[in-house]
Amino acid sequence: MATHRSIDRICCAALALALLTAILFCSAAHFDTGGVAYGYETRLFDTSRVHTIDIVMDDWDDFLETCENEAYQSCSVIIDNDACKNVAIRAKGNTSLSMVSAYGNDRYSFKIEFDHYEAGNTYYGLDKLCLNNLIQDNTCMKDYLAYTLMREAGVPSPLCSYVYLTVNGEDWGLYLAVEAIEDAFLTRVYGKDHGSLYKPDSMDFGGGFGGGPREKMPDGGFGDDPAAEMPDEMSGVPFALSFSNGREAGERGQRDGPPDGFGGMGSSDVKLQYIDDDPDSYPNIFDNAKTEVTSAGQARLIASLKKLGEGTDLENTVDTDEVIRYLVVHNFLCNDDSYTGAMVHNYYLYEKDGQLSMLPWDYNLSFGGFGGSDASAAVNSPIDSPVTGSLDDRPMAAWIFSDEAYLTRYHACYETFLLAAEGSGGLSDRISRTAEQITPYIETDPTKFCTLEEFQTGVGTLLEFCRLRLDSIRGQLDGSIPSTSEGQQENGSALIDASDIQLSDMGSMHRGGGGNGQNPKNTAKRPDWAAVNSETAAERPDWAAVNAETAAEQPDWAAVNAETAAKRPDWAATNSETAAERPDWAEANSENGIPTKVGSPTPQEIRQTAGQGNAWLWLAISSAVLLAGLLFAAKFRR
């Protein structure tokens, strides 16, 4: 009887417990347990297809005339037929911004801020978006590969995908959409309780000259010969980045740099060196903060830089695993336009609770594209000499080589990277699939910087470069190829010969390639680049002959992509679902707004709140727990 008299209490307790558990599950999405899921991840950054972005703007031509001022102007954008009104757009870039004009083009890179005019306005949670113009990259995939490889290696990296850009409904060209490393990125990766973010840089054009005032490139850019018009402090630097066997070698941890011991152009704070305890000694870090700067945050970062320089308490000062993974992928990519190169820039510094890590940025001059001319030097770039100049200059890399245990972990990470990159489904297959995906869009791109033939040559060269680079790293790990600058000087015969490769075929800081200049507004400015760029044109014979080994695997890309090309003869015809809904955008962009796909959300409706993508999952779990409680109660009731 006692059992029966207590059964109601037992049932009530079970129901209460089930209900409480359900409520906790429902609320779990609001707890900060790490990164937050946003809707833009699976929409714009779905890499299985090329997306579309239409910029709707009444005064586009006037905007282009003032792009180098980097001033924001209002526009609307339609991303895969989702409309976002009242957003801001400006041109972006350092050298690339001025180089666009030097090329006689107005195909700028752009930055879109969804929340510039209206706080909280986003594209499914995304606050800021970069649109990279693929300048100086004949492969059109250096940035894409870099961010993808970094992310797959476990390094927090910006999401990216290819987009075909139109302006007021007219073709503009193929771009790479890149998630800006700002608020949305920080919340997506680290959660709401994220740390501090900085983008150390000592001048607008690359690294600083001893921490002096911020400078820009000379008026008019670099003209036809960028190297000839560089500031005096930079003269010769790009060419010094490629070492040869006959040059003076560096010690382990450093590679040959510019002459006379010139270890890099960045100031001490950009190199992440400890100077003193005064925050004013670190202007190139704190003035370039992407998050709120506080006195406590400044003191915490300075204390971390001091311990980093001293090599003390490293596990709490550096996210050692993450930085090792970053440097492994980074050094594979041979990017001297970076922290490890002479310029000492193009990276983000993240700090949380005194622990430091680095985030990747701007790899369009990777694979030896930053002033390099010696392909063999780039292919054999020593993994144990990862910096230009003195290793002591770069404490964020130096700690790895100060301890054999860290060096062992570094080499083990390279082994893991090689296993993922080699063989079926690895890097070579990724490059081929990406080329197949974007070839039809390059064919119809009216403003591209290189011709279709130069793109095909660039892809073939990239495939061969990566194959040789992986072989060299494999040899450096097993000891058959020296892994330091000093060892490679002493035993140059062990190096892999890449003399058949022309690095400029993949694009370089001196020329991005040819391009046919079909943009009607630029036709007069852009003659045939193949003729203009006669110096490199003579170096580019038939691609099939230059890349004999890969030519058999990569026939005519246009033919390979016949299936894809057939799907995209013309944007207006291809996008049948929206063609009828998208008349002339110039007329449609009236005071009453811009058209959207029938049933598509308004800009306010498309904002994605944190954790919304998991709402149905939490509801299902909660329902299951509640049902279990009910069944338990019913069983005992009987």
Taking only the tens place, the pLDDT of each residue in 309-356 is: 999 999 999 999 999 999 999 999 999 999 999 889 999 999 999 999
In a domain, 583, yes or no: yes
Degrees, nearest 5: CA angle 201-203-207:
65
In a domain, 72, yes or no: yes
Q: What whole-number distance in Å separates Cα of residue 512 and Cα of residue 532?
A: 12
Q: In terms of domains, do 7 and 125 share one?
A: no
Name which of 546, 519, 473, 163 is nearest 327 in CA terms: 473
In a domain, 154, yes or no: yes
Q: In terms of domains, do 106 and 21 share one?
A: no
Matching residue, tokens 């040959």: 256
In a domain, 501, yes or no: no
Q: In this structure, what are the phi and psi dihedrals at residue 166, rounded to the nearest 5 degrees?
A: -125, 155
In a domain, 605, yes or no: yes
> Terminal CA-to-CA distance of the chain, rounded, Å?
14
Q: In terms of domains, do 6 and 127 share one?
A: no
Matching residue, tokens 């985030």: 359
In a domain, 30, yes or no: no
User: Residue 6 has what pLDDT?
Assistant: 64
In a domain, 13, yes or no: yes
Q: In terms of domains, do 16 and 88 share one?
A: no
User: Residue 93 has what pLDDT?
Assistant: 83
In a domain, 579, yes or no: yes
Q: Which residues of the chain have pLDDT under 70?
A: 1-33, 203-265, 372, 510-619, 622, 625-626, 629, 632-638
Domain encompassing residue 595: 39-191+559-612
Are the C-beta atoms of residues 401 and 499 closer than 8 Å to each other? no
Q: What whole-number distance in Å separates Cα of residue 230 and Cα of residue 222?
A: 7
Q: In terms of domains, do 123 and 179 share one?
A: yes
Q: In this structure, what are the phi and psi dihedrals at residue 388, rounded to the nearest 5 degrees?
A: -85, 125
Name which of 158, 157, 97 is nearest 126 in CA terms: 158
54: β partners: 78, 166
Q: In terms of domains, do 44 and 66 share one?
A: yes
Q: How many domains does the chain have?
A: 2
Name which of 312, 273, 278 is nearest 295 in CA terms: 278
Q: What whole-number distance in Å separates Cα of residue 523 and Cα of residue 544?
A: 30
Q: What whole-number distance in Å separates Cα of residue 482 and Cα of residue 469?
A: 14
Q: What whole-number distance in Å separates Cα of residue 115 and Cα of residue 291?
A: 16
Q: What whole-number distance in Å separates Cα of residue 270 and Cα of residue 281?
A: 11
User: Residue 23 has what pLDDT?
Assistant: 54
128: β partners: 113
Question: What radius of gyration, in Å, describes the C-alpha atoms of the chain?
Answer: 27
620-636 confidence digits (pLDDT tens): 776 776 677 677 666 66
Name which of 447, 570, 609, 592 is nearest 83 in CA terms: 592
Q: In terms of domains, do 16 and 160 share one?
A: no
Q: In terms of domains, do 84 and 158 share one?
A: yes
User: Residue 589 has what pLDDT?
Assistant: 37
Q: In this structure, what are the phi and psi dihedrals at residue 474, rounded to the nearest 5 degrees?
A: -60, -45
Q: In terms of domains, do 98 and 15 share one?
A: no
Q: In terms of domains, do 607 and 632 share one?
A: no
Q: In terms of domains, do 71 and 173 share one?
A: yes
Residue 446, both tokens: 């009216």
Q: In terms of domains, do 79 and 11 share one?
A: no
User: Residue 397 has what pLDDT?
Assistant: 98
Q: What whole-number distance in Å separates Cα of residue 199 and Cα of residue 203?
A: 11
User: Residue 254 has what pLDDT?
Assistant: 52
DSSP 366: T
Matching residue, tokens 């992407």: 290
DSSP 496: P
Are the C-beta atoms of residues 319 and 283 closer than 8 Å to each other? no
Are the C-beta atoms of residues 471 and 236 closer than 8 Å to each other? no
